[in-house]
């Protein structure tokens, strides 16, 4: 699926795909707050998805080095990633027809093109768990999100 912003309102993200009518569900990746602006951008974005189908957000998130702490606006810190997850999950939850989502990715993994020395060191750091198995702050945000969803289903 392709995502763009409406020409008349840059706060409305539009999901379109010429093959959508042939598919069982709508699924797309979104990185608002990481590759697309800062986390606060998610506070003002709404979604236009004109298909009467279930919606699954297949990727979202941003990098954090486990144990790296600092200001909420400092990229690659756990608190930045935590805030990004809070903002993105609140935004994603407002999508009509949402049936699920998955962060990119559970655990940090080797990625030779990630060369930021002292931070990436050839790892994609978007995991909510480090490559050493340490749960980052975003892990607990995600766990609470899924626990709350589970409780809502049982009530």
Query: What are the pLDDT digits (tens) for 111-148?
Result: 999 989 999 999 999 999 999 999 999 999 999 999 99
Q: How far is CA 46 from the centre of its chain?
A: 15
The strand pairing partners of 16, in sequence order, are 2
Structure tokens at 119: 């931070």
Residue 126: strand, helix, or coil: coil
Structure tokens at 21: 């009518």
Tallying the residues shown for the chain, one arrives at 155
Query: What are the pLDDT digits (tens) for 53-98?
Result: 999 999 999 999 999 999 999 999 999 999 999 999 999 999 999 9
Three-class secondary structure assignment of 61-118: CCCECCCCCCCCCCCECHHHHHHHHHHHHHHHHCCCCEEEECCCCCECEECCCCCCCC
Where do the domains of the chain lie, and which CATH numbers do they carry? 2-144 (3.20.20.80)
pLDDT at residue 43 tops 80: yes
Cα Rg, the chain, nearest whole Å: 16
pTM of the entire predicted model: 0.95
pLDDT at residue 108 tops 90: yes
What is the rounded distance in angstroms from the CA atom of residue 60 to the CA atom of residue 101? 8
Distant-in-sequence, close-in-space partners of 11: CB < 8 Å, separation ≥ 6? 5, 44, 45, 46
Listed residue (55, 50, 143, 42) closest to 95, CA to CA: 55
Beta strand 2-6 with 109-110: parallel, antiparallel or unpaired? unpaired
């Amino acid at each position: 699926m392709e995502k763009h912003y409406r020409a008349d309102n840059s706060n409305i993200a539009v999901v379109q795909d010429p093959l959508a009518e042939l598919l069982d569900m709508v699924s797309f990746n979104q990185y608002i707050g990481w590759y697309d602006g800062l986390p606060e951008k998610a506070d003002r974005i709404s979604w236009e998805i004109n298909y009467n189908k279930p919606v699954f957000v297949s990727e979202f998130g941003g990098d954090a080095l486990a144990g790296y702490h600092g200001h909420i606006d400092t990229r690659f810190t756990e608190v930045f990633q935590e805030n990004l997850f809070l903002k993105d999950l609140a935004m994603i939850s407002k999508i009509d027809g949402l049936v699920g989502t998955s962060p990119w990715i559970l655990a940090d993994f080797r990625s030779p093109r990630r060369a930021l020395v002292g931070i990436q060191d050839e790892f994609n750091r978007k995991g909510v768990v480090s490559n050493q198995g340490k749960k980052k702050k975003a892990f607990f945000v995600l766990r609470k999100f899924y626990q709350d969803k589970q409780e809502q289903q049982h009530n």
